[in-house]
Structure 1
């Protein structure tokens, strides 16, 4: 029923935990297959993927390109795109099953929806709680989740929208904007993401850079130029 697509690049430190959260729903039959799309890792990412039984696919480096390749290799009626440092919490599968059952009752119309999880950081600091609150308000006001909240979308809707575009950055915002707020369901289950980038750069600096990149995107700046701003130290 559900295919999980995970783009990776030297993700051995976090990938095991991400995959562990998928074991129970796989055994229950919710997850049909897991596709790991690698952009050229030089660590143990491929070994971990193969040990887990996931399908390992190589693609040119770039999250948009990798996600598109993963969707092409996946076999499920629904696609769940998940970052390699984002761990779904216990109970997420029950909420997804309930949602899919309700959408199934709508027939073909039920396939015109997508869903995202609640943003959370694996950090106990006040900065993390503040950022989680800001993201929650951003989602409520603008219906604009990021890729670290996961994205579950029906294969039909994904194909109708043209899928992920080969963007270096903002590939998540680009697709969510095409999905539209009215077709987006916000789940209660958290998707807990690594705080590594925020700890390394500082919460204020990293959040400010993210906000700047989003503003540049809406102003129509080329994503290649935005990517240089994003990666700047």
Structure 2
């Protein structure tokens, strides 16, 4: 039976050559059911776009920054549902069935629960807190594969041009229209970032940035803090 929606999966990328092929191969069943996958590249110099092109419906060039890239992908998307997926995140096999339930609902937008790929017990604890926080507040982060009806996205003029917290800011505006439709079956996000920079260091950094954002600090200032912390962790 034909599905009650058309889906555009939009993936912002920058220098993702190491993993983009695996990411896109996992999405081929979705393309096989007449939905589209759009990769938005921000000038990668490692061949990301070339690797992506045979495995997606369109590669779009964009200025760097997830907000700008996701808006660029949405501008050319054909689907009436837009799903924004990080390059290191995998959708569950039953994603389309859950999205069909969303399409029949009266919600404006939604997100998945998240699970981190690492085997350490602390990753299960982190994911539990992320999902619990999202359910209580309605706020979604990019790791949770946010999806939104196209007409709602366009009515809100998409993501605001911010270097950080664009997903949190957009969630706040979406929550004024409806609570999110929550899909319990999780997406799986690579725990590499947590392992590379240190689990507790990353937790502290994320909560510190979010707290300062809620206190009114500018995303530009927070982006500088984030970049500085990542550089120090890499030394």
Q: Structure 1-normalised TM-score?
A: 0.91
* Over 6 Å off, 4+ runs: none
Q: Which moved more, 1:11-20 or 1:66-75?
A: 11-20
User: Is residue 21–residue 89 contact of structure 1 (8 Å, CA) maintained in 2?
Assistant: no
* C-alpha separation in 2, matches of 1:156 and 1:53: 24
**Structure 1 position 228, deviation (Å):** 1.1
* C-alpha separation in 2, matches of 1:78 and 1:223: 28
Does residue 14 of structure 1 match 2:12?
A: no
Aligned twin of 1:166 = 161
* C-alpha separation in 1, matches of 2:218 and 2:196: 26
Aligned twin of 2:3 = none
**Structure 1 position 158, deviation (Å):** 0.6
Does residue 26 of structure 1 match 2:31?
A: yes
* C-alpha separation in 2, matches of 1:183 and 1:157: 13
User: Is residue 120–residue 192 contact of structure 1 (8 Å, CA) maintained in 2?
Assistant: yes
Aligned twin of 2:200 = 204
**Which 5+ residue runs of structure 2 have no aligned equivalent?**
1-5
Q: Give the CA RMSD over aligned residues.
A: 1.4
User: Is residue 64–residue 171 contact of structure 1 (8 Å, CA) maintained in 2?
Assistant: yes
More helix by share: 1
Pairing 1:177-216 to 2, within 5 Å after superposition: 177-180=172-175, 182-216=178-212
**Structure 1 position 167, deviation (Å):** 0.8
**Structure 1 position 58, deviation (Å):** 0.9
* C-alpha separation in 2, matches of 1:73 and 1:28: 19
Aligned twin of 2:90 = 87
* C-alpha separation in 1, matches of 2:212 and 2:127: 22
User: Residues 205-224 of structure 1: CA distance to partner in whole angstroms, max 9, x if unpaired?
Assistant: 10110111111111111111
User: Residue 183 of structure 1: SS of its match in structure 2?
Assistant: coil
User: Is residue 17–residue 87 contact of structure 1 (8 Å, CA) maintained in 2?
Assistant: no
* C-alpha separation in 2, matches of 1:145 and 1:78: 17
* C-alpha separation in 1, matches of 2:149 and 2:46: 32
**Which 5+ residue runs of structure 1 have no aligned equivalent?**
104-109
User: Residue 11 of structure 1: SS of its match in structure 2?
Assistant: coil
- Paired residues in the alignment total 223
Does residue 55 of structure 1 match 2:58?
A: yes
**Structure 1 position 203, deviation (Å):** 0.9
